[in-house]
Amino acid sequence: MNTRVSIVSTVLAAVWCGACEPAARVALPSPFPLTYGGTPIPANGIGTGLEFGDALRGQERERAEVLTALLAGGIDDRASASFAGYSGRENGDHSGQIWRLKLRLGDLFGRRSSTSLHFAYATMKRSSDTLQNDRLRTADVALPTEFLLTDPAEPNKASLVIGPRLTYEQYTDFLDQRQSKPALYPGLLGGLHFNVWIVHLYAEATLLHVPKDLFRGQPYGGRVTVMPSIGAVLQIGPSYSWGGKAKTSAAVARR
């Protein structure tokens, strides 16, 4: 009887512990979210999507992976905004939030181009008794320009994206403020955008410099790396109209 009770207790303890968070520090991942190119996404209406990309984890700035789900809205081919939840893929990872805003600046490099100002703010926290009490905040600014590669009259479109990017990170350790560290990541992003009916597919990569620093006496960073991301958005509403407004205005003027 005592043996049976012991076996049952062991199994229950294993199940219970499996549902618990691991008794170890889990550093927070800093995302480099998709900019979604130089056009608003969605340009008009609403959209929802998924992203998968690389991140830098903790003060050690080690490579990690994050998965993101978003809801977005856009208006008049001029602006879009989105809210997203993201999480790392390690056991014990918490979820964070990403807010994004994009304002279209115009066709600065010709009629088949579109340049936008992209801003993203991300935050994540994790507290585990006396083991860990960390907070991560990042601000991301980019100036992506998108160049249309296909005919504007075609229903399906492909475009190239390129532009500068600057990401600021503040990692705060409330248990040991000496380990709280800021970081600044200058970079250059490039990518592709495919639009097929209501589906928008993106692939972006950011070439950036990871600054060198010390964490608990060990050196980290001091390298150049590439941070890739892919994503898909389903849009309800008209897609961005390449030169459509200009053509309409010219037709009205001729009348």
User: Tens of pLDDT along 102-150?
Assistant: 999 999 999 999 999 999 999 999 887 778 899 999 999 999 999 999 9
Query: Within 10 Å of residue 222's Cβ, how many Cβ atoms?
Result: 11
pTM for the whole thing? 0.84
Condensed to tens digits (0 to 9), the pLDDT of residues 11-38 reads 334 333 434 455 677 889 999 999 999 9
| Residue 33 preceded by cis peptide, ω within 30 | no
pLDDT for res 59? 83
pLDDT, mean over the chain: 87
Lowest mean pLDDT segment, chosen from 121-125, 144-148, 196-200, 250-254: 250-254
pLDDT for res 248? 42
pLDDT category at 219 given cuts 50, 70, 90 is: confident
Rounded to whole angstroms, the Cα distance separating 28 from 125 reads 8
pLDDT for res 119? 98
Kindly list the distances between the CA atom of residue 231 and the CA atoms of 6, 73, 118, 132, 203, in Å, as whole numbers in the listed order.
49, 16, 16, 32, 7
Closest-CA residue to 226 (of 249, 203, 252): 203
Tokens of 118: 């992209």
Q: Is the dihedral of CA 104, 110, 113, 117 positive or negative?
A: negative
Instruction: Determine the average pLDDT of the residues in 210-216.
Output: 83
pLDDT for res 22? 52
Whether pLDDT at 249 is above 50 = no
pLDDT category at 200 given cuts 50, 70, 90 is: very high
Q: How far apart are the first and last CA of the chain?
A: 96
Residue 189 near residue 205, CB atoms below 8 Å: yes
Condensed to tens digits (0 to 9), the pLDDT of residues 45-78 reads 999 999 999 999 988 888 999 999 999 999 999 9
pLDDT for res 243? 75
pLDDT for res 58? 85
pLDDT category at 226 given cuts 50, 70, 90 is: very high
Phi, psi of 102 (to 5 degrees): -135, 130
